[in-house]
Each structure stands twice: as C-alpha cells, then as structure tokens.
Amino acid sequence: MYLLQGTLFSFEEWLKIESKDRLPLFFETLDLRPYVKEMKKSSPQGARGYSREAILRAFLAAPMEEISTLTRLHQRLQTDLRFRYQCGFRLDQGIPSISTLSRVFQQITARGLAEKLFADLVEECREEGILDGKHVAIDSTAVDAYEKKKPKSNLSKKNATWGSKFDSHGNKITWFGYKVHLAVDTKSELPIALEVTPAHVNDGDLGPALMEKAARSVPDTFRYVMMDGGYDQVKNYETAYDLGAQAIIPLNLRNEKEPPAGFSSDGTPRCSMGFEMVYWGRDQHRLKFRCPHAAGKVDCPHGTAWCSSSNYGMVQKVDIRDNLRRFSLPHRGSRNWKKLYDERTSVERCNGRLKENLTTNDLHVCGISKGTTHVYLNAIVLLATALAVKKTQASKEVA
C-alpha cells in the first residue's frame, strides 16, 4: 500500500485558477531577458520585427493551454487576442509564421536554453524553500512519438525507438518513442533533473547519470534516492554512496536460488538456530541486529544461553560497505525504509501531471534534441507555477 505524501505545492490548485488569470501570474515569476539575449539571429532572415521574448513566452504558455503543435500555437495566437497580448506580442502587428516559430524553437534547442532556464528555476525554488532535494525519487515514463516507425534492427541514439515494459499488473506494454527519466524532489513533487532517451534504453543504466545530475542541482542536501526494482544494480548503489546518499531500492532477486550464508535475502543476519535477527538501529555505517529471542520475537528452545551469556542476547553488526546492494541504511524492510520507499510515488504523480495536465506525451517534433526541449518546457511550467503560487500567497499575506 502506498501512502500519499503531503506536498508543499499542489499543481491541482494551480489548475483551478481561471485560464485568463494564470498566464499573467505565471510570467510575473519569470525573467526571460538573459535567455533572450542568447537568441541572436545568425542571419538576416527569420523573425525580423517579432519579439523573441514573446515567442519564448508562447512556447512556455503552450503546455498550460494544451497546445502541442506549432500549427495550433500559430492558430491560437491568430484568433485569441488576449492570449497574444499576454504572451507579449503587439496587437498592431501580425504574428510570426509557423516557419519562424520552428526556427526559434530550433534555436532554443541548439543553444540549450530550455535546460538552462530549468536549472535556474530549480535553484530559485530551492532559495524560496519550495524544494530542498534531501529526498529524491527517480523513475521513467514512456512518451509516444509521431515519427516514422523503424524496425528494431535500426535502433538509434538520436531518434525514437521501440520500447517495452511490464505495468503494475504484469501486462506487457509496447510503444514507439522515447523515455523521460525524471528525478523528483519528494517534498514538493517537482522535477530537479531529467534525461530523455530512446525508448529501448534500460532504466537502471540511466540511474547513475540522473543521480549525478540531481546531486549537482541540489548540492550538499542529497541524502536519499528512491527507485523501483528496475534500478536494482550495483552501480546505482555505488553511485548513490559516492554522492553521500543512500539508495532505497527493493531487491530484485532475479534467479537467486539461495541467499548468502548466514543471511536472509534482504540482508538480515540469521542466528545459529536459523532465526532472523531483529534490526536494532544503526551505528554510523553499521547495522545492529539483536537476538530474536531476547527481543521477544521468537521462542528459542535454548533461550539466550545458546549464543550469549548476557540476558541482552547476542548482537551482530553488519557494515553496509561490505555489500552496498545487499545492506541498506536504514535496514531494508524496516519501518523507516518502507516510509522512505513510499515517497517514490511522488515521481509517478509528477510524471502524471506532465503527461495528463500538460503536453509531455503529445510530442510532435522529430529527433531526441527537439524532444528534450519539449519535455524541458513542460517541466519548466511545473517549476514556474510553484514559484507563482508561492509569490501570490506571499503577496496576500502582506496585504
């Protein structure tokens, strides 16, 4: 059973605000001028006379208005004067053509401006106390692509591919497109790092890169990272440990026939009578386990005398560094471990908002570079709306 986590920012509350009022609040939180300066034209052709800031605003407003194609964005700017004005276009001029919008989108992609804006907003959210990055959840989600389908033999690192996975009911799901690998702050359910890959890429293989990216976004606070069993690979535990964090991942026993001698599968030591010892806390890098008879968990026919002369019973300590995958702080299966793992649902809810409330899963651009820009623009909306809500609440308190 999953426990719903209380969050600091509710995107659902943001969606209740009238559409005509959302955009002004949204854009008040964003200073796009530094990014617009990097959008200088490389040739005399293109968007002469059109504000690059207004075009960038339109790209950011599109996910909130469920606009997923440049054609639909052009139509909305053409028919909705309020939307055009709120994006920053002059009403006494025409609007940029679809080809102009396409060129600017390519420019944003080539210069990595969406990723830069995303990183700056993560930092601003940290400064405002909206997220802290102590607890991070990682998972991937499938994204369909409207590209020409290719056989599996022609897998590419730059374009959409075929992918498959099993859902929570054991059903196999197949799709053509990409995967969005997301690291989410569990306190706020906001994204702090992401990667986009072709659909066939294994989740566990992206774990180290995503953890390193998340740790750079929230330096000095990264403590726990929650992932599902698909990430149960030694390299993910080692990366988390090297970053000063603990990976909270359920063991995927695969074809393991027997656990290591003297231990159960989850790393719990067994006493000389074969009973699982009782987890009794930690001592720095060591897990402490106590005699199950002395702890009142089993009725051993030999009592505590079999293993110890003390009424406290035998105590065994296990250094997690002996096997980072098998041993965990807190101990895997303990109440604290389960509580931490329950926070993993925050990344599922974040993925749901990106795909159901915004346009992440309505991808109409070709190639992984443009697809990544599309995903970043959606993630930026979540961060900017959190800032907008925080600043709106602060202004009401002052008033």
- Confidence check: pLDDT of 157 > 50: yes
Q: In the numeric block, which tokens belong to residue 231?
A: 């990430």
140 and 260 in one domain? Answer: no
358 and 245 in one domain? Answer: yes
User: Which CATH number fits the domain that encloses residue 358?
Assistant: 3.30.420
- Residues 6 or more apart in contact with residue 227 via CB below 8 angstroms: 137, 138, 139, 207, 236, 247, 248, 249, 344
Q: In this structure, is the dihedral angle defined by the CA atoms of residues 367, 372, 378 and 384, taken in order, positive or negative? A: negative
157 and 242 in one domain? Answer: yes
Residue 254 three-state SS: coil
- Confidence check: pLDDT of 46 > 50: no
Residue 182 three-state SS: strand
299 and 268 in one domain? Answer: yes
- Confidence check: pLDDT of 284 > 60: yes
242 and 111 in one domain? Answer: no
* Model pTM score: 0.89
Q: What is the mean pLDDT of the chain?
A: 89
265 and 228 in one domain? Answer: no
Q: In the numeric block, which tokens belong to residue 39?
A: 């959008």
93 and 171 in one domain? Answer: no
232 and 195 in one domain? Answer: yes
Instruction: Output 167 or 337, whichever has higher pLDDT.
Output: 337
143 and 46 in one domain? Answer: no
Residue 151: inside a domain, yes or no? Answer: yes
CB 166 within 8 A of CB 142: no
Tens digits of per-residue pLDDT, 67-83? Answer: 999 999 999 999 999 99
CA 251 distance to own-chain centroid? 21
Nearest by Cα to 80 from 68, 65, 70, 69: 65
Instruction: Measure the CA–CA gap between 317 and 338, rounded to whole angstroms.
Output: 21
CB 286 within 8 A of CB 235: no
Q: Domain range holding 204?
A: 131-250+342-369
- Confidence check: pLDDT of 105 > 70: yes
216 and 347 in one domain? Answer: yes
140 and 68 in one domain? Answer: no
354 and 277 in one domain? Answer: no
Residue 384: inside a domain, yes or no? Answer: no
Angle at 389 between CA 86 and CA 115, to 5 degrees: 70
Q: Residues for the chain: how many in total?
A: 399
User: What is the tally of structural domains in the chain?
Assistant: 3
Confidence (pLDDT) at 3? 44
- Please report which confidence band the pLDDT of residue 2 belongs to, taking 50, 70 and 90 as the band edges: very low
Instruction: Output 193 or 39, whichever has higher pLDDT.
Output: 193
